[in-house]
Amino acid sequence: MNKRIFQTRMREEVFGYSKSISISSAFLLWFLLNIFHLEKEDAIDCICDQPNDKGIDGIFIDEDEEIIYLFQSKYSPKDGQIQGDNDLRNFIGAREWFKNESAITNLLNSTACEELKSLITSLKISEKTNYKLVSVFLTNKEFNKHSSEYINAVNDFEAYDIELLFQNYTYFSDDENIFPEIDLYLANKSRIQYDLSEENPTRVYAISAKQLIKLEGIQDRTLFYKNVRYGVGNTRVNKSIKETINITDEHENFFLYHNGITIICEKLVENLDRNKISIEKYAVINGCQSMLSFFENRNKLSNNLIVLVKIIQTNLTSPLVGNVTYYANNQNSIGLKDLHSLDSIQRVLQKKFKETFDNKVLYKRKRGEEVEGFEEVIASDFAAQLISSVYLNEPYRTHLKQELFGSSYSRIFTRKMTVEKIYLAKIIYEVVEKNAAFLKVESIRNYGLALFFFSYLISQLLDQDELGREILDEPREFVLNSKIKLENSLLNLWKIMIPEINYQINQRILENNGFFDYKNLFKNAQFIKDISDDLLRDYERLVLRDDNNKFSEIYKNS
C-alpha cells in the first residue's frame, strides 16, 4: 500500500464513521481503532463531540500504566496541507486543566461542554492526579519545520501527522500472499539444529528486529495469515514490548525478556560463512504482536535488539502448521472466553446451531475458526450480550465482556438457553440495528449499549402480549419457518414505538439542558428501568387507543 492509497482508504473509513458524529471526532475514532488499537465501544466512550471542549477531543485512561491520554484531532478535507505549531501549542496548554485536583474542579465548574464534564466525572480523573499526563495530537496534514521542532521540545507529547499515521497503519488484507525469497542476516553464527525429519528441518537463530521487519506482509498482515490471533490491540504485552523498544539501553536485554518468534517457510537455505539465511514462501505463526510492535516503532530499533527466531521448513498446507500454531499460541495468556470455548456448553451450542439451521449458521465459540461456507456467524461473546439483553434484562452490562464469561457465565449459558432463543435475540437486535436511522439522536444509532437496550425493550414489549411471550419462550417454529413474517412484525412494532422513544429521549435532553449523556446512561441500571417503565406505559396507551397496536395483531397483519 502506498501513501496515496492509504489516504484514500483512511478518508473512506473516516467518512463512514462520520454519519453520527463530527468529521474530526470520526477521525479520532479511526485513530483510536487503527493506531491506538482500542475496542470500538471503548473508543467511542473516549470521545468528546461537543463545542467548547477546551481543546480536548477525547480522554483515555490506561489503568495498568497509570497514564491519562488527552487527544486532539485536526482533520483537513484536502490532502497535502501543512500543519503549523499554533494548534500544538494551544493543545499543550490544555494540560493545565488537569495538573491537580483544584484545576480539575475549576474545569468542572467552568463553561466547558457537559460531555467533557461527564467524561471527566465518569473516569474519576480528580482521583488520579498522580497519573502521568500524555498529550496526543493527530492530523492528516504534514508537520512543517516549526511543528517538528516544537514536538521534539515538549515532554509527554505524541504527535501524528499523515506521514506517521501511514507508517504506523496496519490492516487486514483480503488475500493471502506467497512471499518470494528474502535474505536475513544473523546476529551471530550460533544456532540450534533440530531435524524432526528430512522434510521438516528446524533451526533457532538470533536475528535483529531490524532484519525481521524486512519480511513482506507486515503492514497488510498477510504475513500472519496462519496465526489465529493476529494482533490483539493495545495489550499489556504490546505496551511492554514498546516500552523496551523505547529504551535503547534495554535493547541488548530484549533477547532475555522475549519468548521469540516462530516462522514457517517452504524453503530455508543457510549460508553461515556470510552469517546469512534465505527463506521463501514464509509466514509468522507466533509472535504477531511483537512483529507489529517492531514495525510500528521501526525508527527506534537498533542493531542491539536481538530476537530468538525459530524457523521450521515445511509445506504451508501441512497439518504440522496447524498444530505448531495452536500450541505456540496457547502458551500465551488467554481470556475467560477462550477458556470457556472448550467446555461442553459451548460445544453443544455449536453443534446444535449446525444441526438446527442446516449448517447455515456458525456459532463461533473460539477465535480462528473457519467461517467460510456459512451464511451467518454468531460469535459466543455476541451471543452472551444478546442473552443478557433479551433474556436476563441486563442490557446495561453488555459492555462487561469479561464478566459475561466470568461471574455471570452460569446465569447466561444455562441448560434452558437454546439456539433458537439466541437466534431470536439476534433477529431482534438486527431489526433494531438495521432501522436505527429512525432514532432522532444520531449519536446512539451505532452505539452498542443503546442497540442492546432497544433489543431489551423489544423483548419487554413482546412480554406484554400472549403471542409475544410464546415467541420468547418457544421460538423454534417462528425462527425456522416464519422468519420473514417475524422480522416484518418486529419491524412494525419498532416503527410504532419510534415516536415514543424519540419523545422520551428528547424529554431527558430538555431536562438536562440539551445534553444527553448516553455513554453513561445506557450503563446505568436505574436509567434503563426508568425509561423502560415510561416506554411500556406509552405502549399500553397505544394498545388501548388501537387494538391493532397489539403485537399479536401486528403479527397477524404482517
**The pLDDT value given to residue 415:** 83
Q: Let me know if 56 is exposed, middle or buried by CB neighbors in 10 A (0-12, 13-18, 19+).
A: buried
Q: At what angle do helices 448-462 and 380-390 cross, to 10 degrees?
A: 50
Over the chain (558 residues), the average pLDDT of each successive run of 10 is: 88 86 94 86 89 92 90 94 95 93 94 93 93 96 96 95 89 64 93 82 94 90 65 55 87 89 93 94 88 91 94 80 65 56 82 95 81 91 97 95 87 93 98 96 92 98 97 97 97 98 96 91 96 97 96 95
| Nearest-angstrom CA–CA distance, 168 and 159 | 12
> Count of residues for the chain?
558
Q: Let me know if 478 is exposed, middle or buried by CB neighbors in 10 A (0-12, 13-18, 19+).
A: buried
**The pLDDT value given to residue 285:** 86
Q: Let me know if 4 is exposed, middle or buried by CB neighbors in 10 A (0-12, 13-18, 19+).
A: exposed
Q: Which residues contact 171 (CB under 8 A, 6 or more apart)?
A: 1, 9, 34, 219, 220, 221
**The pLDDT value given to residue 320:** 75
CB of 460 closer than 8 Å to CB of 536: yes
Three-class SS of residue 500?
helix
Residue entry with cell 388501537: 546
Q: Which three cell numbers stand for residue 405?
A: 464469561
CB of 289 closer than 8 Å to CB of 232: yes
| Nearest-angstrom CA–CA distance, 149 and 152 | 5
In 3D space, the residue among 388, 408, 361, 376 whose CA is nearest the CA of residue 451 turns out to be 388
280-308 pLDDT tens trace: 999 888 888 889 889 989 999 999 999 99
In 3D space, the residue among 112, 323, 287 whose CA is nearest the CA of residue 200 turns out to be 323
CB of 209 closer than 8 Å to CB of 266: no
DSSP H or E stretch at residue 254: helix 254-257
Domain with CATH 3.40.1350 in the chain: 3-168
Q: What are phi and psi of 276, to 5 degrees?
A: -140, 145
| Nearest-angstrom CA–CA distance, 450 and 528 | 10
Three-class SS of residue 203?
strand
CATH class assigned to 3-168: alpha beta
| Nearest-angstrom CA–CA distance, 216 and 238 | 21
CB of 376 closer than 8 Å to CB of 394: no
Q: Which residues contact 479 (CB under 8 A, 6 or more apart)?
A: 420, 423, 424, 427, 486
Q: Cα torsion at 388, 516, 540, 545 (round to 10°)?
A: -140
